[in-house]
Structure 1
Amino acid sequence: MLGHDIEDYDAPKRKRKMLNIAEKVKLLDMLKEGRSYAAVGHHYGINESSVRSIKKEENNIRKTAAISFNKDAKRVVTVQVEDFGPSTSADHAVTSRFNASKGWFQKFQKRFGLKNVLLHGEAASANTAGAEAYVNNKFKAIIEEGGYKPEQVFNMDETGLFWKRMPSRTFIMQEEAKAPGFKAQKDRLTLVMCGNAAGFMIKPGLIYRSKNPRAMKNKNMDALPVYWMHNAKAWMTKALNLDWFKQCFIPEVKRYLREKGLDFKVLLLLDNAGGHADDLSYDSVQIEFLPPSTTSLIQPLDQGIIRAFKALYTHNTLQQLVDAVDSDQDFSLKDYWRGYTIASCLQNIQRAIQEMKPETLNACWKKLWPEAVQTPNGGSLDDIHHSTVDTAVNLAKQLGGDGFNDMTLDDINALIDAHTHPLTDEDLTEKKNSSSRINTLMLKVMRTYTL
């Protein structure tokens, strides 16, 4: 033992790892998404104290990242022009202001790990001072003046979900990537989550690209575990926000408060996302928008709930595959996955919501409304996330096959993180063209049979 201790003492110290600005921004985003200091430190090969030091400098780091991007985006570029005839030197080099498309910007973000940079120069940093002032002054005054109970105070937020996606290294994803047409792994929906300070979640809203998918044929849409909405891009708009508010939120909350024996007096908290309507109105419902750039600090649903939900959804999807293997000796993972539809997705969404305990959801209000939290240290969402990811890895190894039998924690976490990435313009165009081709083919078949 003594020799071992001396050997450790005399061993050369590990070289200190230096992170660049893009890596630091990505590290901060990982913390924002609910990962622990220890987990993030392990990911980057640095100790926990270094992670905490970077967190303390978050405002400066994000400002630097925003400034760096703006300088790069405003640079003057030289464009080579093809020679079609007699020309001067001025014809070969054209100096112009750089204009980036939305798709280019998204690829730039992905390449450099920049998730919160704004195009118009606004510092992409959390408004710590504004959040503290809101919690200690305005929010406290709203609660006192309204006499609200935790059961009457709700928060809504939405998130993207690539509902039919596995880690990219798995053979079913690799094979699909080679196939022509729009890829199922790019099929994205928007989930609208809403819960109160007592730890109750109402039926989630779901926005999909189709009003009546084939897999939902002959199903009672009113009996689904979600409130179904649709538009071509499957994302939140002000019109859909108003629809969700009137047709889902109001009746769900009325039913809940009636069962609790409480008056219908409600406070609904929203962030300032562009798709949120600013004209929501209903008797006895107060709408309150959180200050800009404070959602990562005080919005309850942003304190790990959404990330834990995605981990549970991934786990449930893998569990469903393993259960199918156990029940069918002739099981084919490729065939089963081909038959995994949006109806299957709804089952796993419902399970994930049900598996989130009320005391855990209640604890996520401690930054905004600490007085409403019953057990501040109970049922950590960070613990739920890590244990769920561990189980998901084990389930993947039970499935076996390339990319499954050597699944890692990082693979599952990368899949969970991927849900936050929006589709590019190219993806949306590909989806639209693929749908057009399918519709054309179906029309030809119908004409053939008619003739």
Structure 2
Amino acid sequence: MSQKRKQINIEEKSRIISKLEKGIPNKDLAKEYGVSHSTISTIWKKREKIQILYDKNFLKMKRARTTRHTKIEEALLKWFKYQRTNNEPINGPILQEKANDFAQRFGEDFVCSSSWIQRFRARHGIVGGKMRGEAASIDEWITQKWPTLCEGYSPEDIYNADETGLFYNMTPDKTLKFKGEKCSGGKMSKTRLTIMVAANMTGSCKRKLLVIGKSKKPSCFKNIRSLPVTYEHNVKSWMTSEIFERWLRNWDAELKANKKKVLLLVDNCPAHPAVTNLKCIKLVFLPPNVTSVLQPMDQGVIRCLKSHYRRLQVLKLIQSIDSNNQNSFTVLDAILMISEAWEKVSQKTIANCFGHAGFNDLTSLITRTSDDVIDDDEEDNISLAQLAQNLRPALSTTETDEFIYVDQSIAICAPATEDDIVREVQEENENEQEDSEEQFTVPTLIDGLNAVSVLRKIVIFNEELNIQGSWDDTLIKIQRELQNVYARQKCFKQTKITDFMRTEMMEK
């Protein structure tokens, strides 16, 4: 009686491939998994197909075979997910009818059968007309797939990156106007930025922020030497696949120079393509539909960043009220403030957010509230709610929360259609010139010297400031450097040959 052949699913095959890559002999793996040598060899030959299925989360499939009608499959799955988000009841016959509809649209000779729908549902874990529960999917991914993906990487080398939209110059009294806006273009895009936030699992390394604005050449950037962030532009202030790939390849080159390798977790939004030929970055996509739960940056890091930013913004508004100074708020102001807010996000907050997403506990998901992961900065001992009482009119606690999170759900990208591409190229050409709408005056050296002088006097006369002598030493160094540059400029202007000849003539 012949022995029944053992079948291995995609997840197990992926583990076998990983072990073969590490040099574990074929015969040892055949013995471990109870299969023949030829089975292990076949798995190795089909490793590319297996990896594709593994990346698409087809963990329980036992044959490395995909449907010939890939367009229909992808379109039907996207349609089904969209219906699921709207809580529409979907059964087998409805899926079958929709598959035939997509076949007609794509011009394919295909008639969907009930058996094809059964296989489709099995491939994607669709049971009883609904996707598998998110909690089960998350637990399965974090406990079964994640250990294989992160194998060989220390927590310091595991990163997560995510984008968020920011209405950078919004005042609290405009919150209701902005709340719930999709911000897909037009005037709204001039009031917003998109920010890419990235950090490692321990919180010991926070990547320089990537900020995407609308204007290619904001007037406030004129003659600027460097920025504390990486700046990109897009006609809608959105993340695009080109910007994402450029950001990724620049980081990859930096890592190669430093001889380091990292694993980067990102969601599978339209602006995140599967970038190939990366030397030092292993790009891992989170499973669909669960990124709001699994994405560490979404578990409190971005919330903390925005809270710090809004606090700085309210403080600036109060300063403007007290000084009767209504200067315009520029993209440069926003960049400096968002960079300062990023500095205030603590290492503990980031590490807690990775733990809250389940990455520090592979046996079970952590069930804390998002409030538990945020470690408030001790330096900010006056809350935003307290500061907001100084505004006119004062903000309630509810209004303060709305002010912080008003841009929480604004779009940061979208699939590009052909019409979108044409429109984007046209708008890019129209946007080549500097942004004339943003009024900005570059501070002079005299402004800097006066500012340092005022700061030194404030330190001397204000007893409430808890500042040690070293701070005054720092101000003196800044003042001295500004004076040296100012003196060199004055000397250079006075040593022109015409000035020398004019002086000689006056002496005679």
TM-score of Structure 1 vs Structure 2, range by shorter chain: 0.5 to 0.7
Q: Are residues 1:357 and 2:353 paired?
A: no
Q: Paired residue for 1:393?
A: 385
Aligned partner (choices 144, 148, 160) of residue 165 of structure 2 = 160
Residue 210 of structure 1 corresponds to 215
Find the counterpart in structure 2 of residue 133 from structure 1: 140
How far has the Cα of 1:388 moved from its partner? 7.3
In structure 1, the partner of 2:298 is 302
Structure 1, unmatched stretches of 5+, are 1-61, 71-121, 175-181, 443-451
2:15 alignment counterpart = none
- Which protein has greater RCO, CA pairs closer than 8 Å, 6+ apart? 1
Task: Give the equivalent residue in structure 2 for 1:264.
Answer: 260
SS of structure 2 residue aligned to 1:67? coil
Q: Deviations over 1:105-129 (max 9, x none)?
A: xxxxxxxxxxxxxxxxx97997222
Work out which of the residue numbers 331, 344, 347 in structure 2 matches 1:342. 331
Secondary structure of the residue aligned to 1:370 is coil
2:192 alignment counterpart: 188
Conserved 8 A contact 1:131-1:298: yes
- TM-score for both structures, normalised by structure 2: 0.50
- Does the CA-based 8 Å contact 1:203-1:252 persist in structure 2? no
Q: 1:311, 1:388 within 8 Å by CA — same for their partners in 2? A: no
2:410 is the counterpart of 1:410: no
- Greater gyration radius: 2
Residues 168-195 of structure 1 deviation map (CA, whole Å, 9 limit, x = unaligned): 3589x89xxxxxxx76796111101111
Question: Normalising by structure 1, what TM-score?
Answer: 0.55
Q: What is the CA-CA distance between 1:253 and the residue it aligns to?
A: 5.2
* Structure 2 unmatched ranges of 5 or more: 1-81, 91-128, 179-185, 415-419, 437-508
For each residue in 1:373-404, what CA deviation from the matched residue of structure 2 results, as whole angstroms up to 9, or x when unmatched? xxx9999444639x979722222222x32x3x
Cα displacement (A) at 1:232: 0.5
Could you tell me the percent identity over the aligned residues? 26
- Measured after TM superposition, the shift of residue 370 of structure 1 is 1.1
Q: Distance in 1 between matches of 2:243 and 2:145?
A: 29
Match of 2:283 among 287, 292, 296: 287
Distance 1:161 1:240 in 2: 18
Counterpart contact for 1:162–1:187, Cα < 8 Å: yes
- Is the Cα–Cα contact under 8 Å of residues 319 and 395 in structure 1 kept in the other structure? yes
Inter-partner Cα distance in structure 1 for 2:308 and 2:405:
13
Matched, 1:67 2:87: yes
Letter in 1 for 2:196: V
* CA spacing shift, 1:415–1:237, aligned 2, 3 Å: same
Is the contact between residue 189 and residue 214 of structure 2 (CA under 8 Å) also seen in structure 1? no
Contact 1:205 1:227 in 2 (8 A): yes
Q: Distance in 1 between matches of 2:143 and 2:206?
A: 26
- Check the 8 A contact 2:165/2:411 in 1, yes or no: no
Query: 1:159 & 1:125 partners in 2: Cα distance?
Result: 28
1:80 is aligned to none
C-alpha distance 234-64 of structure 1, shift in aligned 2 (>3 A): closer
In the alignment, structure 1 residue 319 sits paired with structure 2 residue 339: no
| Aligned with 1:198 (options 172, 178, 202) | 202
Distance 2:434 2:260 in 1: 50
* 2:214–2:236 contact (8 Å) kept in structure 1: yes
Question: Structure 1's 169 and 381: CA in aligned 2 closer, same or farther, altered over 3 A?
Answer: same
> Partners of 1:281 and 1:363 in 2: how far apart?
32
Aligned mate of 2:247, from 244, 247, 253: 244
